[in-house]
Copies of this chain bind each other. A is one copy, B any other.
Amino acid sequence: MDFVGTALAELTMPQISPLAGEPIEKADAERLAGVLKALADPARLRLLSLIQSAPDGEACVCDLTAPLGLSQPTVSHHLRILTEAGLLEREKRGVWAYYRLVPSAIATIADLLTPPRKRATKKTR
């Protein structure tokens, strides 16, 4: 993986050109595909959903293994991928590791997919 720790930056500060407009660059396609690939998994979608709907918008690994029916290492693995993609952020408090959604990360992805509106939050290069 060369996404480790960088996918977030490329996401929240997207040099990635949206699907709209002119033909997408090969490099941009690979970056966007990389983030989408993190989303394109049932277990990870459910993880995001579970965390987002948790009491304080956060959850630790021990709360997530049971609902998913997956082993703890596997859940930890998925959380790692989501974090590296810039979708989750991790905070360790004591023995527990709490994960929460990165505020508008998913919304940013959605914006990259939809052509219609103009994204005013960036200078379009």
> Taking the nearest CB of chain B, how far is it from the CB of A121, in angstroms?
15
B53 close to A26 (CB less than 8 A): no
B32, B109, B110: the one contacting A45 at CB < 8 Å is B32
Interface size bucket, A side? 35 or more
Binds B, one of A2-10, A16-24, A92-100: A16-24
Q: A21-B53, A22-B49, A32-B42 are in contact. List 20 more A-B contacts (CB 8 A).
A: A19-B49, A19-B52, A19-B106, A22-B53, A23-B50, A23-B53, A23-B67, A29-B45, A30-B42, A33-B39, A37-B41, A39-B40, A40-B40, A52-B115, A106-B113, A106-B115, A107-B114, A110-B110, A110-B113, A110-B114
